[in-house]
A and B are shown apart, each in its own frame.
Chain A
Amino acid sequence: MQRIWAIIERDLRKFQHSPFLMFASLILPLTQLVILGYAFGGNVKNLKVGVVDQDHGMAAVKLREMIGAVEANASTFQTVDYSDLNRAVIDLRNAKLSAVVNIPPHFTRDVLAQANPQVGLIVDNTDNFVASTLEGAFGNLVSDYYKNGVDARMQPRLALQTVEVYGYTPYIKFLLPGAIALAIFITAMIGGGIIFIDDKARGLHEGYLVTPITKIELILGFNLAGAFKGVLAGLVLTVFGSLIAGIQNPLDPLRLAKMIILIVPTSVAFISMMFLMMVRISDPLVPRAIFGVLNTLLYFPSGAIYPVNAFPAWMRVITTIDPFTYAVHGFSTLLLKNTGFGAIAGDIVFLSVFSVIMMASAAALFQRTL
């Protein structure tokens, strides 16, 4: 045991003398949290929409007034009048407009005759976000076209009532669990990957291999030291990230305690995975080269930035075996829903079993001699 603690102590003393390492581990996740959170979390506004009124009748005027009301209030779009549909489409193709609303000739006649009147919405679908937003806005507008005044209390037709169980969750909050997992992963990558291989390449490991330390003690020492640093990174990002993302009661001791109970197996899982990957590597360029690839391969399929249900089948295979997935799910459950352990028990079990498999494999591959 003493030798394991010696390895842990060595790593932590080095870490204590180089606090920049912790800072470096946190920069990317915090930056991503803020930039992505605010870049993706807002509502699209001030889109240029061309309006071509080929009718000019009463129904067209009413429609144009409704469009104007949405423009004035929600500011989702700004209308630009066109007299020629072809001109408007040309401008759409040239990216001067995001969409074109075409009120066809005889629109008023069709409305009055209830003869399936239609309004055209021509969208630039190279930008799915914008196209979806405009389709939604104009879809709602068209649905409300026939409303007169306030709705009756008792509706004759089927209506959907949406109830949000939790408060409004902006995208930055949705990102927070992934940012915490990412901070732990980067700490594992730097400490368990890059620094481990750098020490190996400089011959530092020889100094330890000539001592009576056993293979298992070395592996446990390296992994536990790395896991401790990961726990620190996870905690720091939990607190600061919660403050940035606007989580209520970010310093709630009970929630922090639950987070630590999940951060620990997450940290062990990541460091043991990194250790297994690096156990036979000697070239210091390898961990640097694969850092970006690993980050992409593990972080994005985990559901950290987009729901996993939207992924194709082959990506869901990665999702299923990716420890990030379970970490993100667990953190999300604790932070955004403030649940008990029942909801994250499966995540803890997976991360723990994953860690055992990784460490056992690393132990089998680790070479006690040069």
Chain B
Amino acid sequence: MSSITSISALDVPRIKSDFPVFEELFGGRELAYLDSANSSQKPRQVLEGITEFYEHSYANVHRAVYELGERATAGYEGAREKTRAFLGADSTREIIFTRNGTEAINLVAHAWGLSELGPGDVVVSTVLEHHSNFVPWQYVAKRTGAEFAVIGADDNGELDLEQLDAIAGRGRVRIVAFGLISNSIGTVNPVEALVGWAREHGAVTVVDGCQAAPHRSLDVGSLGVDFLALTGHKMLAPSGIGVLWGRQALLNSMEPFNLGGEMIRSVTIEESTWNELPNKFEAGTPPIAQAYGLGLAIDYLTGIGLERIEAHEHDLTTYAMESLADAEGVSVLGPPAERRGGIVSFTLDSAHPHDVAQILDSHGVAVRAGHHCTQPAMDHFGIPATTRASFYLYNTRTDVDRLVEALADVRATFA
């Protein structure tokens, strides 16, 4: 955990001025955008950079022999190098561009899971997972005859590691799938313990980094995981671009996922052979400008500094939890601020989350209401849905104050 005192505070007004969306008024007020865990807003540097790329450097990649094509390839591959450095990976061969985080996980589930798993094997996910790192494993286990096991959680929404022994007793543990940070309640999961346990059993770890990569510095080497998935749209980049990082030996041993152009070495009527990494897993024309945009987003984030962003969000989260603790009728789910990301999920005694979100919207406060694609986690808490506020580099304590004020209006409406 980084120390807040040694890190200089973010200049939020200046950061905000990079985001055109904050120039528009919502409900007559500046937007209090508290839904970045769902998708982030985009800064000018990304938006204008993509437009410029389309205007001056766009063609298909890897095949055009004219200058424009070379510029496009340089832009696309440049983004791969930026992503490699961002994740501390050894080689750009380990950086696979996908459509989003969901596709990155599905790639592993299909290309590794379907051919490696079978009866007697145990595929492990957690009760806190986003459906994208839960449903593919449930499905692949069913398809292959492997057993699907789920690590439960305690009342705080923290994984119950005491269940690990019992899970290991059910067979040969092959996959351990978990997120770095829970998207619905914000829990920071114990990576070290889970990776250690997985290694002990020779299992492969498939880690959802979608809620962590935009907000804190990640290094795949020190995390010790085998696969890491992330998505661009939650980290200031456009939608339509995701990343799968994987260990080269594993990626090399895997069957392809999507088949077609670009991913082949040669094709004859009799058979086809596969291209080298990363092309083997990038069939068809990739999301070129979106990848380029991800590179620009990484430039923007690293220019500010992930440690500073993390510290800023930690301050907002702590402040929000203190403010909501005093707000009447509000129950916050999940662990204390020290063990969570910039996500605060809560219920209100008198109103359904959808009604809460609707009334907050009329105050210019944007939050997410629903099960957040984590139905098993909602079932764990015995509730159908929550209202979720999530923070990013452009949020302020004023946004939190406005949330709390608007919640008082919700309560008054439903009193």
A and B physically associate:
no
Q: CB within 8 Å of B: which residues of A?
A: none
